[in-house]
A and B are shown apart, each in its own frame.
Chain A
Amino acid sequence: MNNAAAIPILLPIGAALLTLLRPKPSQARRAFVTCAFAALLVVALWLLAHVADHGAVVLRVGGWPVPFGIVLVVDTLAAIMLALSALTALACSLYGFAEEPSAQEHPLRLPLWLFLIAGINLSFVTGDLFNLFVAFEVMLLASYGLLTLESDARESRGALPYLTINLVGSALFLATCGLTYSLFGTLNFAEIIVRADQLSGDPRLTLLGLLLLLVFGLKAGVFPLYYWLPNSYPILPAPLAAFYAGMLTKVGVYVLMRIFGTVLPPTEHALHQLIAWTAGVTMIVGVLGAVGQSRVQVILSYHIVSQIGFMVLAIGLHSVAAFVAAIFYIIHHIIVKSSLFLAGGIVIRANGTDDLARTGGLWQAAPWLGLFFLLQAMSLAGIPPLSGFWGKLMIVQEGFVQREWVLVTLSLVASVLTMMSMLKIWLGAFWKKPPPAAVRVDAGSRRMTAVGVAMLAVSLTIGLGAEFFIRIASRAAHETLDRAGYVRSVNDANTTLYPGKHP
């Protein structure tokens, strides 16, 4: 039963190796990868249900006792993230299959995508800091590969800053692992929790928290470390851009939650204030960056930065209600943001460009695409009763409770500006009269739209059935902030004995 915690990592690695054995792109290979993603989704949903009934699933890798060996921990938050990564991967890959025939596909795209997911999933389930570093490296290496795989030289120029800043980030993360070990004498999250409480108030702990914030803020794209994001995401092919937009920055947000919610003691108020204020600036800077842009994918990329601000603000407010809001917001945002990027991909296909000066007429040519984009864009801006509204409402409510008037105002201003940007895309690509060049909507575009409409259905379910999702988010938030409970559930793993020899 505990071994199930390893499936979300082993399954994509196994599938990636198998696809590498059959390097020629074919329909059979695509069907196989679709099955792998679907299986991942089923496993993740099963884990989510199982964790709800029986508590966190903890696997001691190799049977080593807990503070010494590697542990994999799947609690509610991790299971939610696993399910979201599998769902986004499934939708984006189906969209990619509809986009181009299998003969034109790059033979390395699917294997690298599977490795990317293995890295992402490992960073969700890992129970120690060094494995988190390994997970990030697996994820980043695959993402470097995918980013440069199908880009020409001009686009590679956008990829190089992403590479450089992540290389520096990785070195910093490694050094931070070393400093953590020298401070605590362990890298295991559960053991760090116990030892950090004894160090509470020690300036070294604050410094360590600052370093971790720097490392993971870089991955999440928090101000002032966001500039690589709007330059690199638009160079990706549409399905991959949608997956990156949905998942990669959210890995950073998840880890910030795990570190500042679970691992470090809740008494680090100065750090939480710092997180909240950088988040406030991030929201505004991201949304203002989008104002001057005219390409759909670039506008959407700047909005990722802005929305990251909302989630990180909730982490900085640091209460159970704020964490519920953050987790609900992540669920909403991954679905909505990746489907908006998918819509942007169809705009490029229909018009040959996503420059808003040269697009138009899509509302007439593709009404389903228009409906799908409009609803998701309104959800992103936070119009009730769509999914984005509930997340923002909870964050603003918590801001009022904590009397953070300036931050609440910033978030409301950011929401209004988001609405403006979405209107700009709507008017430019959909409502305007068709451009002189023909608007081309073929069977492939219609199949791609079908995938988008399926994502829209998921997003509408989240918005209309918000109560159910808030209940799940609330359970995840309670578990994340229950540090004693985390230690207990990890240490309880020592009582289950595995058959065979023991180290």
Chain B
Amino acid sequence: MTNQLEAAVLVAILATCGLYLCLSRRFLRMLFGFLLLSNAANLVLLAVSGDPTGRRSGTIRADGSAILSVDPLPQALILTAIVIGFAVAAFLTVLLYRLYTDRATTTLDGLQVDPPRGGAAQREEEKST
């Protein structure tokens, strides 16, 4: 197996930052945290697919000899995971944006109390009057 220290370090940094941001109370940070986390997971898959110069892949030619290439299966997994991650990110964006427009808040704490004056809700009202 080839040396994959760089990938491990990169995944660790991305996952740490992602987790930290996910635990935040601000909507935008939660969204960015999720994006970083899903990319960290994708990188783990990419690291698994190996290095063309080192690790043998699972693919073989019709005559049975090994092809010197990356393993294509993890790539297929990443593709699927990216599509799913995109859908989740889209949902999260819409949800958080709706919370912002409805309650004029961009933090979790703002959801507990009555909506403060100002922000998007007031702008809406000003527009309508």
Would B37 and A171 count as touching, CB distance under 8 A? yes
Which positions 91-107 of chain B face chain A at CB distance < 8 Å? Answer: 91-92, 95, 99, 102-103
B residues near A177, Cβ cutoff 8 Å:
45, 77
| A153-B102, A156-B99 as given contacts; A178 in contact with B47, CB under 8 Å | yes
Mask: chain B, 73-114; 1 = CB below 8 Å from A; 0 = not: 110010011001001100110010001001100001001100
Would B37 and A167 count as touching, CB distance under 8 A? yes
Q: Which of A157, A163, A175 contacts B41 (CB 8 A)?
A: A175
Of chain A, the residue at the smallest CB distance from B19 is A168
Q: A37 contacts the other chain (Cβ, under 8 Å)?
A: no
Would A154 and B112 count as touching, CB distance under 8 A? yes
Would B99 and A171 count as touching, CB distance under 8 A? no
Would B74 and A181 count as touching, CB distance under 8 A? yes
| A137-B84, A148-B95, A153-B111 as given contacts; A168 in contact with B44, CB under 8 Å | no
Would A178 and B91 count as touching, CB distance under 8 A? no
Q: B68 contacts the other chain (Cβ, under 8 Å)?
A: no
Return A164 CB to nearest CB of chain B, in Å.
5
Q: Which of A133, A157, A171 contacts B112 (CB 8 A)?
A: A157
| A153-B111, A181-B48 as given contacts; A174 in contact with B30, CB under 8 Å | no
A residues near B22, Cβ cutoff 8 Å:
164, 167-168
Mask: chain B, 102-129; 1 = CB below 8 Å from A; 0 = not: 1100001001100100000000000000
* Total A-B pairs, Cβ < 8 A: 86
B residues near A137, Cβ cutoff 8 Å:
84, 87-88
Complex CA gap A130/B41 in Å reads 13
Of chain A, the residue at the smallest CB distance from B104 is A153
Q: A228 contacts the other chain (Cβ, under 8 Å)?
A: no
B residues near A172, Cβ cutoff 8 Å:
41
Of chain A, the residue at the smallest CB distance from B90 is A141
Mask: chain A, 179-193; 1 = CB below 8 Å from B; 0 = not: 101100100000000
Q: A160 contacts the other chain (Cβ, under 8 Å)?
A: yes
Would B41 and A167 count as touching, CB distance under 8 A? no
| Residue among B38, B73, B111 with the highest chain A CB neighbour number at 10 A | B111
Would B41 and A178 count as touching, CB distance under 8 A? yes
Q: A45 contacts the other chain (Cβ, under 8 Å)?
A: no
Complex CA gap A153/B27 in Å reads 14
A residues near B15, Cβ cutoff 8 Å:
171
Of chain A, the residue at the smallest CB distance from B22 is A164
Q: Which of A141, A153, A163, A178 contacts B77 (CB 8 A)?
A: A178
Size category of the binding interface on chain B: 35 or more
Return B66 CB to nearest CB of chain A, in Å.
14
Complex CA gap A137/B44 in Å reads 18
Size category of the binding interface on chain A: 20 to 34
Would B77 and A130 count as touching, CB distance under 8 A? yes
Would A178 and B111 count as touching, CB distance under 8 A? no
| A164-B30, A168-B22, A181-B73 as given contacts; A134 in contact with B41, CB under 8 Å | no
A residues near B80, Cβ cutoff 8 Å:
130, 134
Complex CA gap A164/B77 in Å reads 23
Q: B40 contacts the other chain (Cβ, under 8 Å)?
A: yes
Q: Which of A148, A157, A178, A179 contacts B108 (CB 8 A)?
A: A157
B residues near A141, Cβ cutoff 8 Å:
87-88, 91
Q: B52 contacts the other chain (Cβ, under 8 Å)?
A: no
| Residue among B22, B40, B81 with the highest chain A CB neighbour number at 10 A | B81
A residues near B47, Cβ cutoff 8 Å:
178
Mostly helix, strand, loop or mixed at chain A's interface?
A: helix
| A177-B45, A181-B74 as given contacts; A171 in contact with B40, CB under 8 Å | yes
Of chain B, the residue at the smallest CB distance from A159 is B95
Mask: chain B, 1-27; 1 = CB below 8 Å from A; 0 = not: 000000000010001001100110000
A residues near B19, Cβ cutoff 8 Å:
168
Would B34 and A167 count as touching, CB distance under 8 A? yes
Q: A469 contacts the other chain (Cβ, under 8 Å)?
A: no
Which positions 129-147 of chain A face chain B at CB distance < 8 Å? Answer: 130, 133-134, 137, 141, 144-145
Would A185 and B45 count as touching, CB distance under 8 A? no
Of chain B, the residue at the smallest CB distance from A131 is B80
Complex CA gap A6/B38 in Å reads 29
Return A166 CB to nearest CB of chain B, in Å.
9
Complex CA gap A133/B82 in Å reads 13
B residues near A153, Cβ cutoff 8 Å:
99, 102-103, 111, 115
Complex CA gap A190/B112 in Å reads 49
Q: Which of B34, B44, B84, B88 contacts A178 (CB 8 A)?
A: B44
| Residue among A141, A164, A175 with the highest chain B CB neighbour number at 10 A | A175
Of chain B, the residue at the smallest CB distance from A165 is B22
B residues near A130, Cβ cutoff 8 Å:
77, 80
Q: B58 contacts the other chain (Cβ, under 8 Å)?
A: yes
A residues near B48, Cβ cutoff 8 Å:
178-179, 181-182
Complex CA gap A137/B45 in Å reads 17
Complex CA gap A454/B34 in Å reads 43
Return A236 CB to nearest CB of chain B, in Å.
16
A residues near B73, Cβ cutoff 8 Å:
181
Q: Which of A133, A156, A171, A182 contacts B111 (CB 8 A)?
A: A156
Complex CA gap A157/B110 in Å reads 9
Complex CA gap A163/B23 in Å reads 12
B residues near A156, Cβ cutoff 8 Å:
95, 99, 111
Of chain B, the residue at the smallest CB distance from A163 is B92
Known: A168-B37, A171-B37. 4 other contacts (CB 8 A): A156-B111, A171-B18, A172-B41, A178-B41
Q: Could you pull out 20 A-B pairs where Cβ atoms are within 8 angstroms?
A: A130-B80, A137-B87, A141-B91, A144-B95, A153-B102, A156-B111, A157-B112, A164-B23, A164-B30, A167-B88, A170-B88, A171-B37, A171-B40, A172-B41, A175-B11, A178-B74, A181-B45, A181-B74, A181-B77, A185-B58
Top 9 closest pairs, chain A to chain B, by CB? A174-B41, A157-B111, A178-B45, A175-B44, A171-B37, A171-B41, A182-B48, A178-B44, A153-B103
